[in-house]
Amino acid sequence: MKPVGVIGIGRYLPDHVMTNHDIQAMGLDTSDEWIRERTGIEERRIAAVGQATSDLAYHASVQALESAGITADDLDLIIVATSTPDYFLFPSTACIVQHRLGCTRPIPAFDMSAACTGFNYALSAGAQYVASGAAKKVLVVAADLLSKFLDWTDRSTCILFGDGAGAVVLGEVDPGLGIIASDLFSRGELAEILYAKEGGSRNPISMDNPTRPLVSMEGRAVFKVAVNTVVPAVESVLAANQIAVSDVKLLVFHQANLRIIDAACERLGFTPDQVVITLPKYGNTSASSIPIALCEAVSEGRLSRGDLVVLVGFGAGFTWGVTLLRWSC
């Protein structure tokens, strides 16, 4: 098996900033103080009316390709992790991205659905192609545009999410660098603590059911399950690889709630300088929150080649995942 790692990274956030005050001004019974204290979020980015998920994914991908020093025609595979595809049936958002990037080769392109854990899942899948030699360069994009699927009258969900995309290019790296472990999990019996009830084949939109898919969540349950699942998962991947918490340079958590990150870090023993936080600026951007945060850390010079990084995702499914890697850019 070949060693596989990140050889390029990019991110994209829509221009429009929506603050907590803006949400309150929409008539919702909430406040900037409540949202900051309970979530850590101050503002989030919202996609323009005409923007679709592939548009966000495209911009992040262009940056990732540039940073890898390759063109779209050097890619052998595109995977897009998203819960908010351009089209609900087909084609996949990955196919739209393949076209927009100007790939002239008919490379495979597919979407992956693992909600906020989507980046961990897609990274793991993409890495297998490179490790086995089936692909040399894989574009893994995580993009979500949840603002179009929020109930803007539900104060317990609409305040949390923002739109965005993050992308990496995976390729063969020097021995000793790259992805060390990718542990992925699911517990389907918890599906309904975080889901969109309407609009799929279970409850299709029809003349009798003129609705649309909107995020519905049991916040407290998600909070508890998140902390209780990711903490042992991180402990186990570190133990299996004989890595101490202090050896880890950066811990990149899915950005859902500052209190979740704080609670998990306290239990695991990570210190604030090891943790990346983007929640105040971007809120929860679902699958894209990890690559966006990782990309920000890289642009702030917080990572050097060879540094140990832990990526921790969790979300609807219920799914969770931990990726351990040695930075290879």
Residue ranges binding ligand UT7 (CB under 6 A): 30, 34-35, 38-39, 116, 155-156, 159, 194, 217, 219-220, 222-223, 226, 256-257, 260, 284, 315
Any catalytic annotation for residue 21? no
**Least distance CB 151 / ligand UT7 (angstroms):** 12
* Least Cβ distance, residue 260 to ligand UT7 (angstroms): 6
Q: Does the active-site annotation cover 116?
A: yes
Smallest separation, CB 69 to ligand UT7 (Å): 33
33 burial (CB, 10 Å; 0-12 / 13-18 / 19+) is: exposed
Comparing CB distances to ligand UT7, the nearer of 167 and 263 is: 263
User: How many Å is the Cα radius of gyration of the chain?
Assistant: 19
> Residues 116, 158, 265, 295: which is the catalytic one?
116
114 or 303, CB closer to ligand UT7? 114
Catalytic residue among 59, 95, 103, 254: 254
Residue with nearest beta carbon to ligand UT7: 219
How many C-beta atoms surround the C-beta of residue 252 within 10 A? Answer: 27
We find the least distance from the C-beta atom of residue 185 to ligand UT7, in angstroms, to be 15
Q: Could you say which DSSP state residue 13 is in?
A: -
Contact 199, 209 (CB under 8 A): no
Tell me which H or E stretch contains 77. strand 77-81
* Token representation of residue 64: 């990732």
Quick check: is 284 catalytic? yes
For residues 33, 273, 235, 313, the Cα torsion angle rounded to the nearest 10 degrees is: 50
Nearer to ligand UT7, 34 or 149 (CB): 34
Give the nearer residue to ligand UT7 in terms of CB position, either 218 or 307.
218
- With 0-12 / 13-18 / 19 or more C-beta atoms within 10 angstroms meaning exposed / middle / buried, residue 239 is exposed
Query: Is residue 162 within 8 Å of residue 284, measured between CB atoms?
Result: yes
Catalytic residues: 116, 254, 284
